[in-house]
Each structure stands twice: as structure tokens, then as C-alpha cells.
Amino acid sequence: MSQAPESFAPKPVNLALQGGGAHGAFTWGVLDALLEDGRLAVKAITGASAGAMNAVVFAEGFLEGGAEGARRQLETFWREISRKGRMSPLRRPLLERFMTGWSLDDSPGMALFENWSRLFSPYDTNPLNLNPLRDFIAELISFDKLKASDEIRLFISATNVRSGDIRIFENAELSADVVMASACLPQIFQAVEIGGQAYWDGGYLGNPALFPLLDGRTPDDTILVQINPVRVREVPQAAGDIANRLNEITFNASLHGELRAIALMQRRAKGTDSFHDIRLHRIALGAKEGLDASSKLNTEWDFLIFLRDQGRQAAKNFLTGHFDAIGARATLDLAALLG
């Protein structure tokens, strides 16, 4: 463990946290390791869906109890996610457990859910719009505390259903409804109404949104925590593999659009003072065996711990290889990523 000495000034950074259901436990691990290390000061976080949840839990925990408070709050949150999922019919079949896989593709509950979601909407299956997760978020997080502080600026994205535009909610606007709007998958939840507008998952248009970090009021270094794989080695041919790849491409599309825009701005501004100080870094989950789209709904504690540990190790590897670059140069090669 690399704890910063008391005289050491932590390097200021932004975090950009991608959404991806239960795979957000990887981001929990990344945040846990960064907090434990202590050499970075998080000044702003942009997030969507599970990334939005991690963002508000991190920020509120940090305001309450510093790094250790944030670590405790994140663990409390993910433990409750697992506990609430124990009654879910979306469980791994015995063969998948025996093979130590994490996919739900062969789960009878998943087959039933997919068939029902084609025929019925959440307005049919949950007309009272009951959502225990919203109640838990409202109980766990002091949104008044987040609204009153600008120590960590938050940018939570959601998709406006009627206009099809992205909506960014900042600290003063945050609530349990905002967090649930950012994580509202329309096959599972009714659209969340805020201020007379209906919202779905922010990951459709900003996963995560980077543009709020470019206004000059946030640090120049941004660490992207990416949980949807960018590249795959083989062209998928099985129906399930095709669906998984489409899911990955869809939830990376908005991010890649913004990265291309940043790369273009930097190329055009070369030799000037504009945009050259935008320094991007990345900690990625990447493609791993058994981590398909269905496993994003797997809330088993063993799976969440597996992802947390993957995130912790990825963050430690990042700090070992790239800590010195923070504040000096970008370590995410946009040309290679988008070429």
C-alpha cells in the first residue's frame, strides 16, 4: 500500500465512470484502490448508470469521512446491491457455477425475463412503480450534503426520453430520482419523471459524458474507468455473442464520439494554447471470459468481489505505470484507441 506522506500534495484529477450494471463493481475496486493509495485528489466525477451510483456514493462518503468514509460507503452500497439481488430469478444455473462462469445466458430466469420484456413493459409488470433500490439510495445518501458542497463536482447524465437529448445534473440538482434516472433501463424500470420530463439511462448518450470536464473549472487530468470492452479479437457468430458485442458497441458509442471530438480539437489546435492541457488516462476492465451482457445483471456477492478485486489490481497497475505522468502528459493514446 502506497500511502501519501502528510507533506505530500495529492495530484488533482477528474474521474469519468462508465456504466454497465453489476460490472460497476470493477469501478468500486478502482475507487477503493485509489482511495487507499492516497496520492490523487478527486475534484470532479462524471458518471452514468452504475457509474453515477458509484460517483454519488464515493462523493458523499468522502464528504462524511474522508477516504475511509468513501471506502466504507462504497462497500455498504455494493453489499446491499447483492443482498437485494438474492431473491432475483436471474441466477446462474448449476452448470455455470460448476464451470466457475459468471454468465446468466443459460439461466431459466434470464430466458423468462427476455421473453417477458418483449411482450410486457415495466408499466405492465410494475404498475405501482415500486423500486426498493431507489429507497435504499435515498436512505444511504445525504443529497443535501452533496448539494451544499462543491469539494467534489458531480456530473450525472440521463437521457431525455421525449427529446432524445442528454441531460447533465450537477450537485445542486442531485436526488435519488436523478441517480435512478441515470440508471433507468427502460426494459426494467418505468421512466423517471424529474421536473416534468421523463428520463432513461444516461449511458445511451453519455457513458460517461466528458464535455462537462472541459470548461476550465476542473483539473486537466481525467481518469476514464471503462468497463465496456473496446475491441474484440474475433468476429462474433453465435447469436448470444452477436448480442453481447452489440451491447458493448452501443454503450461505448457516445464515449467514442466525444474522444474523437477531443482528438480532433487537439489536432487542430496543435501549436496553440487551446486544448493541449487535456490529459486523458484510462483504467479498463476489458474483455474477460464469462463477462457478457447478461452478467451485468448478476449481483451475486462472489461475482461482485471478483470484479472489485479486478478493479483494485487494475488501479494499482495504473498507478505503478502512470502516476508520474499525471499532471505532465496523457497516457491514453486516442489515435491508437480510435484508429
> Residue range 119-130: average pLDDT?
85
Percent of the chain with pLDDT over 70: 85
pLDDT digits (tens, 9 = 90+) for 36-58: 999 999 999 999 999 999 999 99
Residue 225 C-beta-side C-alpha neighbours within 13 Å: 35
Using pLDDT thresholds of 50, 70 and 90, give the confidence band for residue 84.
Answer: confident
Mean pLDDT, the chain, integer = 87
Residue 167 has pLDDT above 70, yes or no: yes
pLDDT digits (tens, 9 = 90+) for 59-75: 999 999 999 999 999 99
pTM: 0.90
Using pLDDT thresholds of 50, 70 and 90, give the confidence band for residue 118.
Answer: confident
pLDDT digits (tens, 9 = 90+) for 175-201: 999 999 999 999 889 999 999 999 999
Using pLDDT thresholds of 50, 70 and 90, give the confidence band for residue 7.
Answer: low
Question: What is the rounded distance in angstroms from the CA atom of residue 237 to the CA atom of residue 247?
Answer: 15
